[in-house]
Amino acid sequence: MPLREHLLELRRRVVLATIGLLVGAVVGWFLYDPVIAVLQEPVLRLEREGLVALNFAGVATSFDLKVKVSLFLGVLLSSPWWILQLWLFVTPGLTRRERRSAVAFLAGSVPLFLAGAWLAWRVLPNAVRLLTEFTPDEATNLIDAQLYLSFVMRVVLAFGIAFLLPVVMVGLNLAGLVRGSTWLHGWRWAVVLVMTFAAFATPTPDVVTMFVVALPMLALYLVAVGVCVLHDRRDDARRGALTAEADTTPIDR
């Protein structure tokens, strides 16, 4: 496919993904009240203990926050749609057989994204408590609501996207851009990067929490590597069979 057609296809997929995100944001607007109550819960637990207080600093802060939370919900609710657009951008260059072999892995991409978001939510209460424990005695930590909820949404989305990396790995492999052996040989870097991400994403003093975050990501990396290696072996075998058949075919004179 020429470069111009690639760019047009990319623009088309981005537009469709954006439309889906906006539709999800409209739905998120009406889900704001119950969701904001859930997002505030880690701070409200500490507020009941008299340690912190959630502060809305400006007149328009509550409206601005509702818009941001709605967009955040739009990303979550429309995740099947924009992940599909990402995949459709990659798959035009694949054969029908390669698309069928990737359906099962693609079907797991949405649960993977949601699982990463759920894991982030599970570790957030401990992170909030740890970070607020540095507040001096006889003082109250006035947490800006906008900054706090922006922090929560960034962490949730970061975890969700991190759990999507195996899908990207398989997509690049099926597109013929990266071989499975390349992913396999880079396992040391993968371990370092995953452990670094887990260390920064879980600012808690215990190592157990860090490993709870890192181990699922490493397991997903290994599964993706296995899928890529199996695909490369089948592809090499198929090409070898076609080459052998072409060599044994008599040439008409």
User: Exposure string (b/e) for 41-60, b if CB count within 10 Å is 16 or more?
Assistant: ebbeebbeeebbebeeeeee
pLDDT tens by residue, 20-51: 999 999 998 998 888 888 877 777 776 666 56
pLDDT tens by residue, 108-127: 777 888 888 888 888 777 77
**Is the pTM for the entire model greater than 0.85?**
no
Query: What's the pLDDT score for residue 114?
Result: 82
Q: Are 180 and 229 in contact (CB under 8 A)?
A: yes
Least confident of 22-31, 97-106, 192-201, 220-229: 97-106
**What's the mean pLDDT when you consider all of the chain?**
77
Query: What's the pLDDT score for residue 246?
Result: 66
pLDDT tens by residue, 131-148: 677 666 666 677 777 777
Count of Cβ atoms closer than 10 Å to residue 182 Cβ: 15
- Alpha-carbon distance of 36 to 152, in angstroms, equals 11
